[in-house]
A and B are shown apart, each in its own frame.
Chain A
Amino acid sequence: MSPDDRKYSKEHEWVKMEDGNQALAGITVYAQDQLGDIVYVDLPKTGATIRFMEKMGEVESVKAVSDLFSPITGEVTEVNERLLDHPELVNEDPLGEGWMMRVTVSDAAELDQLMSAEEYEAFLSGLS
């Protein structure tokens, strides 16, 4: 069920390489399901530097607050502004419309430390 056009972290973020060194990042179907109804997403500003597996923001559901960890090192070039007014997009379409930010990747080799779709699915089945 996880598409194989992107890589996945153990913290349930995804990163998808686009043209050049641009990448799109967000959280997985599993992550949004665990969180429940998301009401607030706190993301870094455009221009900020985010670092591999370090905290980059927070996501709040009705019941809980969770840290977001960056799946890649780089500079944020765009954040999904729609999530400010429509955080429910993360629940409805976490891999598409609910994307969180676009990043200029500074070290593509980090992607090798992330999981493939197949590995991530295996990782998930080990959690339940």
Chain B
Amino acid sequence: MTTSNLRTPLYTTHVSLGARIVPFGGWDMPVQYSGILGEVAAVRTATGLFDVSHMGRLYISGPRATEFLDWVLTGSVESLRVGRARYCMICNEKGGVIDDTIFYRLAEDRYLLIPNAGNRATVVAWFQRWLDDKFPIGCVIEDRTEATALLALQGPAAAEAMDRLCSEPPSSMRPFSWQENQLQGTPVLLGRTGYTGEDGFEIVADADQAASLWQTLTEHGAKPCGLGARDVLRLEAGLPLHGHEIDENTTPIEAGLERFVRFDKEYVGSDVLRSQHENGVARKLIGLKMPGRSAPRAEYAILNQGQPVGRVTSGSYSPTLDTSIAMGYVDASRAEAGTMLEVDIRGRTAQVEVTPLPFYTRPRR
């Protein structure tokens, strides 16, 4: 088979572990190793390790970097302290979501931004357009995606494992902070971030260190996990996936992501977002629960007494909750928690209940 897909520095590791490889966002990625159910359980009860090197690493720096990012991101950049990270959206002029991203403030005038794999080129082009337009000097983008690797160590035992392996114990790091550290001698940037609803770390390192880091972490108990488990975990945690819950034709307000949107600054899309915030939206993202194991899937119609009121964006059996769960958009009038609706499951109508997000919250220790 010929392919033009990119491969992460861990591709041969995945193949040697017997992973099933699928195309995702322009990359050949492992969708599962031993099985999705076991991989989800590892992350919820111990530790799982993900290769997420397909996601972008964009370094944005210069004296106008803060001002630039405050123009293209929905979250406040200027108020973020060095050492901290923040989740927010990149919107177009209509308030539609070009991508969602975590960005780390590395220094007063230097940031690391993580776009989704399939949106990296779009984000770079979008940023470059605004740099040319409004910030012709004083800010540059460096794309170090292919020179680096990104691993995610996730689960309740992640901090303990990292304390054993790092020169500075990272268990004291606050959520959404980052630090430079050494993982068994390898220089890494650690973020106390993730996409699973569990505690954990995201680890940036040079590409040529990826295989040895992977080996070290799995030898210390982390179970290799693929994108299939990651998708179930993020759905249980009520986290949106670009291309499903959010895209260029949906806004963060419709998606219930107001808390990642500032209304007190001017930026691309801010007029629309402020207006929606004040006047309301016609449709809203909701959670749906359905008893049993047969799941509503993406694109299935959501009905109210037989009449279409919306569409499923993601759905799966939830092994953690042992029920079927989904997210989708419905008319705002049908979005209240407790509302009973139906989903058309391949011609069979099934009752579903509108449920607050997230479906799963990790237990406090």
Contact = CB atoms under 8 A, between A and B. Distances in A.
A60 interface: yes
B228 A63 contact: yes
* Residue of A39, A40, A65 with most chain B CB atoms under a 10 A cut-off: A39
B293 A39 contact: yes
A37 B36 contact: yes
Given A36-B32, A37-B37, A65 B346 contact: yes
B297 A36 contact: no
B294 A36 contact: no
A60 B38 CA distance: 17
A63 B346 contact: no
A87 interface: yes
A40 B36 contact: no
Contacts of A63: 31, 36, 228, 231, 316
Interface of B: 20, 31-32, 35-38, 228, 231-232, 292-295, 297, 316-317, 319, 346
Interface in A35-78: 36-37, 39-40, 42, 58, 60-63, 65
Contacts of B293: 39-40, 60, 87
Contacts of B317: 39-40, 60, 62
A61 B231 CA distance: 14
Nearest to B293: A40
8 contacts: A36-B35, A39-B319, A40-B292, A40-B293, A60-B317, A61-B36, A62-B316, A65-B297
A42 B251 CA distance: 38
A37 B35 contact: yes
Interface of A: 36-37, 39-40, 42, 58, 60-63, 65, 87-88, 91
A37 B37 CA distance: 7
Contacts of A62: 36-37, 228, 232, 316-317, 319
Contacts of A60: 293-295, 317
B35 A58 contact: no
Nearest to B297: A65
A42 B317 CA distance: 15
Nearest to A67: B346
Contacts of A39: 37, 293, 295, 317, 319
Contacts of B37: 37, 39, 62, 88
Contact of B294 (A37, A42, A88, A91): A42
A37 to B, nearest CB: 4
Contacts of B316: 62-63
Nearest to B345: A65
A87 B20 CA distance: 21
Nearest to A34: B20
